[in-house]
Amino acid sequence: MTLDAAAKTGSVDVVIDTKSVDTGSELFNGHIQGEDFLDTAQYPTATFRSNSVKFDGDRPVSITGDLTLKGVTKPVTLTVTSFKHART
């Protein structure tokens, strides 16, 4: 994630290892990683790439972008409910 609060711009680019999804249950993990859900054997990653970030003051409140899961890309809007940052 990159963020410029003064310019009210930002971007998010996330790659998720779908095999890392852990429900706390080995049985359910096996089911959710199977063909009926995440199909981690064929689709080992999911991605989210932002198109825009909406701000309220200097705080991001929503991020619109494209989520790709199992080879299918759809637009989604994520609501930011908590935000803390530190300078790097």
Distance CA 2, CA 39 (A): 30
- Structural domain contains residue 49: yes
**pTM, to two decimals:** 0.84
- Structural domain contains residue 87: no
Token pair 């759809």: residue: 74
The DSSP symbol for 18 reads G
pLDDT of residue 43: 97
pLDDT of residue 44: 97
pLDDT at 42 over 90: yes
**Which structural domain, as residue segments, surrounds residue 37?**
2-79
What is the distance of C-alpha 37 from the center of its chain?
A: 17
pLDDT at 25 over 80: yes
- CATH number of the domain that 63 lies in? 2.40.128.110
pLDDT at 86 over 80: no
- Structural domain contains residue 61: yes
pLDDT of residue 88: 62
